[in-house]
Amino acid sequence: MDLVEITAPDFPVVFEIAYATANNFTGRPVYARAATWLHHDAAAALRRAIDLARPQGMGLRIFDAFRPSEAQWVLWNHTPDPEFLADPRRGSPHSRGVAVDLTLVGADGRDLDMGTAFDAFTPLSHHGSLAVSTEAQRNRLLLLGLMTAAGWDFYRNEWWHYQLFDARRYPVLGDAVLPVPMMPMMPKA
């Protein structure tokens, strides 16, 4: 399997996997259990980002990483908005294991102000939004610089989303590739 589990202490980040809780735009858990997986290429880029953030007195909080294709369908069926969600028929970089949703945390463990919450489906979430505070713009640019220096590409509509540059070369994967499923068990017919 080309996916590796992202866990502490190997990856010293804060885990807050939003889709394993009701604290996401659907208002209910999508995953049955919180887990963080990435393709080994993306895991190496995440490690570089962690190493770049540390000397700055910062860390990373991860909201989502590998998202089984079944979960992408749940999100799309709830809110089919191509400005903020990849159409699962084309495949999401998350469902390929090469995308991560995250933010920066300060030395005190608190999130830096990014102007909107994670998964705020509004133009205020766009990287180039001038409608958020100067501090939020500065923090977004700091995250952008750190992540691009570590080898990540960004999605212009979501300040929190980063993916490998060649994401489409990786296959779309479902929950079955994991040793322990993330998705809820479906009742048998």
**Which pLDDT score, from 0 to 100, does residue 185 have?**
73
| Active site residue ranges | 158
The overall pTM is greater than 0.85: yes
Indicate the CATH number for domain 3-177.
Answer: 3.30.1380.10
Q: Provide the 3-class DSSP secondary structure of residue 3.
A: strand
- Per-residue pLDDT reduced to its tens digit, 102-129: 999 999 999 999 999 999 999 999 999 9
Q: Assign 186 a pLDDT band (cuts: 50, 70, 90).
A: low
Tokens 């079944």 sit on residue: 70
Is pLDDT of 188 > 70? no
- Per-residue pLDDT reduced to its tens digit, 149-185: 999 999 999 999 999 999 999 999 999 999 999 998 7
The average confidence (pLDDT) of the chain is: 95
Is pLDDT of 80 > 90? yes
Residue 20: CB atoms within 10 A of its CB come to 19
Average pLDDT over residues 126-138: 97
Is pLDDT of 189 > 60? no
Tokens 């949703």 sit on residue: 101
- What the block records as the tokens of 116 is 């909107």
The alpha carbon of 70 is separated from its chain's Cα centroid by a whole number of angstroms, namely 16
CB contact set of 3 (below 8 Å; sequence gap of 6+): 37, 38, 39, 40, 66, 97, 173, 177, 178
